[in-house]
Chain A
Amino acid sequence: MTALTDLTIAEARQGLRGKQFSAREMALAHIGAMEAARPLNAFIAETPERALEMAAASDRRLAKGEALALDGMPLAVKDLFCTEGVATTAGSRILGGFTPPYESTVTARLWQAGAVMLGKTNMDEFAMGSSNITSAYGKVESPWRRPGDNRALVPGGSSGGSAAAVAARAAIAAIGTDTGGSIRQPASFCGIVGLKPTYGRCSRWGIVAFASSLDQAGPMTRSVRDAAIMLQTMAGHDPGDSTSAPLLVPDFEAALTGDIRGLKIGIPREYRVEGMPAEIDALWERGIAWLKAAGAEPVEIGLKLTKYALATYYIIAPAEASSNLARYDGVRFGLRVPGETLDQMYENTRGEGFGAEVRRRILIGTYVLSAGYYDAYYLKAQKVRALIARDFAEAFARCDAILTPTAPSAAFAIGEKMDDPIAMYLNDVFTVPVNLAGLPGISVPAGLSAESLPLGLHVIGRAFDEETMLRVAGVLETAANFTARPQFPLPSREREGPVAKRREGEGARDA
């Protein structure tokens, strides 16, 4: 039998309902894997005791034949989701000591559907980053290595802890958030599936805000079907989030028919960005060929404003962040560093509480909203954003889904690209336009780079048409038949963890 930690949600669902194993066994196997994966630093907090309690409740339901959609599925939760009674840090020192008295809508829906919480995953501070090196809780390592090269690689970001946990089989699935590519890019780097739903599909209530008009929660899984199953539970209107869409949630799993005959797949010529590695281009060509072989029709489309997307994003996202992060002032929760005056307390608290990248973005955001610069930056960016959305709308008049690479490269080593923020920002060149337009996107592992590292293909769907997007992604997944596994855990690797971890219910397992 396959190890419990190798199962997909679809497989585990069958096994649990068929009483081949229990939710407790699933939880124990994943708690063990989570502990074994500590060298990756993928988790900020482990919650094994809670996992076992939740698994016990799942087992009771399973025994009565009253299984819920996600009963017994051990999940990792990006530490941007507020979880009641479990410290929530957003990867930042400034939220030190903050334990929410409330549960985010998305996680609440998962627990109500029987899912089991393993822990909170590491992330770039306030979700700002593409490499998971900006966390106050230490960098995350990818479970992947270049063969013959023991240098640690980045897992991507900002949902890098979630991606690493799923790739390392420490969680059957995870949830992340995606503001400019923060689910899809780490999914691509770690060889897993990452889905960003349409803006408004999942509630943002209880998720620490980075850029409100762009943030969206989504699943990170080891199969397209699992992504569909997870999204089914996560999605849905929430009256607590004014931007959540009052729409019925379709049956996403049922959309995976494997039949894409007659679908038109848009191939945006502008995405052949300058300096893109040939292997990325080759992967893209393979993707096109796979879809064509399955009966879809590739059509060339123009997304001519793509070249302005990154610049637009790096005005709008920091602008919103500069305002969203103003509440971390040391007054009501989290870190407080005293000062002689109120202003000094603000300066001390925020100076010590925020890392360099967060400070950089607050400065950029404050600048672009300032009197005299607002029109030239923020207002212009909003106009360009509207045009980018129109570009997509026009493209979707001619196609049913769009295929692009997920990222312009495979994962890089920790330390590479670190001194140039602009080079780092380029990681998101293919994913950012999707957030600006509010569309759904999914990254599917589709091949390996010359260095044997995973590469993802990216399917973009129409707004609120995750079904077609998932169907196309399912076909890509089948055709790509991605079976490569990360090297982690290496039998000989030294096992010291980078930071001492906050443990809830230490010693509770096997009690």
Chain B
Amino acid sequence: MSTTTIEGRTGPWEVIIGLEAHCQVIAKAKLFSGAATEFGAEPNTQVSLVDAAFPGMLPVINRCCVEQAVKTGLGLDAEINLVSIFDRKNYFYADSPAGYQISQYTRPIVGKGKITLDLPDGKSREVAITRLHLEQDAAKSLHDQHPSLTYVDLNRAGVALMEIVSEPDMRSAEEAGAYLRKLRSILRYLGTCDGNMEEGSLRCDCNVSVRKPGAPLGTRCEIKNVNSIRFVMQAIEYEARRQIEVIEEGGTIAQETRLFDAGRGVTRPMRSKEQAHDYRYFPDPDLLPLTLDAAWVEQLRRRLPELPDAKKARFVADYKLSPYDAGVLVGEQASADFFEAVAKGRDAKLAANWVMGDLFGALNRLGRGIEQSSVTAAALGELLDLIADGTISGRLAKDVFAAMLETGKSASTLVEERGLRQVTDTGAIESAIDAVLAANGDKVAEYRSGKEKLFGFFVGQVMKATEGKANPGVVNELLRGRLAPPGRGK
């Protein structure tokens, strides 16, 4: 790989990045209680006595969340620990009803794994995963409901999170972005986290340090709770430059926790009080060690869906797509499925161009996901079929596609309704040619005297006369015959 560096006053600097992603597990119930987990519910309507930490209430592990964590571990090509331990992380805060968060500290459910990044230059690069552990989410403090009081919404308290920790293997904000996109893609393929950063179901802590290339690792700062890929990249970029500046000015970096101010695009240190925690981790005595059956894990492994990397490789091999195109198409499972449905039995390259070009372009403009596309894969396939069998030209197809997007009608319906069927009837075309040549006798003479560039003019006139429906191949062929100097033609 080529090392990315940032140019400082004293020369190039290398940026070292590790990420901790907090991913909300897709599950109907919380990690240790039966309360619901739906997003956006009225405050304190999805709270069990366990979540509210009432006296004598005990946690019971939700098997579904364990299964999701194991599936994610398998999807990250990671070691699954058949025995793991839940610990208590103790701290007092209004968002922590029990005064502790149940997490996994020394023995997480998933160990070392890896993620392959797809970089914009088409290359790929591996980032090692340190661990994945299960933990409870905190409640939410509402500071804006009352002038002097803070309200607490316990709906989120106890919702299952997977914390996925990477090694400090990334070297640029772009790589960090690629890592999060790939992680989100894998989670969505697995159906273990919806990766929706706006709703907070994927949040990220960024560990950033800088060093001169080849030098030992520098002191890192942790930027907490960044909630979009764009902000992660901005925060890393800002933080790296800040650290370089501090060091180049003769200062040193203090290991600290910082927050990203998205409004101003800067990071700032948290108040020291906010980070002066001694969490007093110890094994939760209310929970036995979590033991998994190896056969069950194998069963989950066998049932894993095809993941982005495998799909990408298959697209390159089977459809002869470029690694870049394949990478774009497999980013979302829905896009990949859409593409495959269109490509099946058709020209794959053409299918890829239409999906990635016209379709993605249109959806982007409309701000829609592929799931909300008004043009289905079958409909786009039909359009491609009409091009392939010569019913419409590629140029007309663009117009048909635009109409399909707008009306939701099928390509064949639109072709019929609007009389867009390509004219291949030589008689009709010939009479159009006759009319064009008759009206442009001077140009015919010029052409015949050697000004062959005028051929395009004639084609255009004929197409115009036939309202674009004439088959361009037929037009070309007939025109060449008719324009040939007398005696040399047929």
Contact = CB atoms under 8 A, between A and B. Distances in A.
Interface of A: 81-82, 88, 90, 95, 98, 100-102, 104, 204-209, 211-213, 239-243, 319-320, 322-323, 325-327, 329, 331-333, 342-343, 346, 366, 369-371, 374, 378
B39 interface: no
A346 B52 contact: no
Interface in B425-477: none
Q: Name the prevailing secondary structure of the A interface residues.
A: loop
Q: Which 7 A-B pairs have the closest CB atoms?
A: A326-B99, A212-B285, A213-B285, A369-B280, A327-B53, A206-B56, A208-B55
Nearest to A347: B92
16 contacts: A81-B56, A82-B55, A90-B55, A102-B49, A104-B56, A209-B56, A241-B58, A242-B287, A243-B285, A320-B282, A327-B54, A327-B55, A369-B90, A369-B282, A374-B280, A378-B282
Contacts of A242: 58-61, 286-288
B60 A323 contact: no
A207 B56 contact: yes
Contact of B55 (A88, A240, A366, A370): A88
B467 to A, nearest CB: 74
Nearest to A331: B94
A284 B285 CA distance: 35
Contact of A327 (B60, B97, B280, B282): B97
B88 interface: yes
A206 B58 CA distance: 8
Given A95-B55, A342-B93, 16 more contacts: A205-B58, A208-B56, A241-B60, A242-B60, A242-B287, A243-B285, A323-B88, A323-B99, A327-B97, A327-B98, A327-B99, A329-B92, A331-B97, A332-B52, A333-B55, A374-B282
The winner among B55, B88, B92, B100 for most chain A CB atoms within 10 A is B55
A208 B53 CA distance: 11
Nearest to A346: B92
Instruction: Specify the main secondary structure of chain B where it touches its partner.
Output: loop
B252 interface: no
A331 B97 CA distance: 8
Contacts of B407: none
Contacts of A90: 55
A91 to B, nearest CB: 12
B152 interface: yes
Nearest to A332: B52
Contacts of A101: 49
A146 B97 CA distance: 48
A367 to B, nearest CB: 10
A326 B58 contact: no
Contacts of B255: none
Contacts of B281: 369
Contacts of A239: 60
A332 B94 CA distance: 10
A441 to B, nearest CB: 20
Contacts of A98: 55
Interface string B280-297: 111001111000000000
Interface in B39-70: 49, 52-61
Contacts of A240: 58, 60
A211 B285 CA distance: 8
B45 to A, nearest CB: 15
Contacts of B92: 326, 329, 343, 346
A101 B57 CA distance: 12
A211 B284 CA distance: 11
A369 B284 CA distance: 13
Most A C-beta atoms less than 10 A away, residue of B52, B92, B287: B92
Contact of B56 (A205, A326, A329, A342): A205
A489 B223 CA distance: 69
A337 to B, nearest CB: 15
A243 B58 CA distance: 10
A287 to B, nearest CB: 33
B59 A326 contact: no
B280 A100 contact: no
A233 B59 CA distance: 24
B278 interface: yes
Interface residues of B, number: 30
Given A102-B49, A323-B99, A326-B99, A82 B286 contact: no
B353 interface: no
Contacts of A212: 285-286
Contacts of A370: 278, 280
Contacts of B90: 322-323, 326, 369
B282 A243 contact: no
B364 interface: no
Contact of A342 (B55, B94, B97): B94
A326 B279 CA distance: 13
A98 B94 CA distance: 19
B124 interface: no
Nearest to B98: A327
Contacts of B282: 319-320, 323, 369, 374, 378
A41 to B, nearest CB: 23
B150 interface: yes
Contacts of B56: 81-82, 100, 102, 104, 204-209
Contacts of A366: 280
A288 to B, nearest CB: 36
Which of A81, A88, A319, A327 has the most chain B CB atoms closer than 10 A to its own CB?
A327
A366 B55 CA distance: 20
A131 B320 CA distance: 82
Nearest to A98: B55
B237 to A, nearest CB: 33
A325 B282 CA distance: 15
A326 B285 contact: no
Contacts of B286: 209, 212, 242-243
Nearest to B141: A342
A81 B55 CA distance: 9
Contacts of B94: 331, 342
Interface string B281-324: 11001111000000000000000000000000000000000000
Contacts of B49: 101-102
Contacts of A206: 56-57
A369 B57 CA distance: 23
Contacts of A342: 93-94, 150
A211 B52 CA distance: 19
A323 B150 contact: no
Contacts of B55: 82, 88, 90, 95, 98, 100, 208-209, 327, 333
A242 B284 CA distance: 11
Please indicate which of the listed interface residues A98, A104, A323, A369 has the most CB atoms of chain B within 10 Å of its own CB. A323
B285 to A, nearest CB: 4
Contacts of A331: 94, 97, 152
Contacts of B98: 326-327
A95 B55 CA distance: 9
A209 B56 CA distance: 6
A196 B53 CA distance: 26
Given A326-B99, A329-B92, A320 B285 contact: yes
B288 A243 contact: yes
Contacts of B53: 327, 332
A366 B91 CA distance: 11
A321 B202 CA distance: 34
Residue among B53, B88, B93 having the largest count of chain A Cβ atoms under 10 Å? B53
Contacts of A332: 52-54, 97
Contacts of A241: 58, 60
Most buried by B among A98, A101, A212: A212
A331 B54 CA distance: 11
Nearest to B60: A242
Contacts of B54: 100, 102, 327, 332-333
Contacts of A102: 49, 54, 56
Nearest to A316: B285
A286 B282 CA distance: 44
A241 B61 CA distance: 10
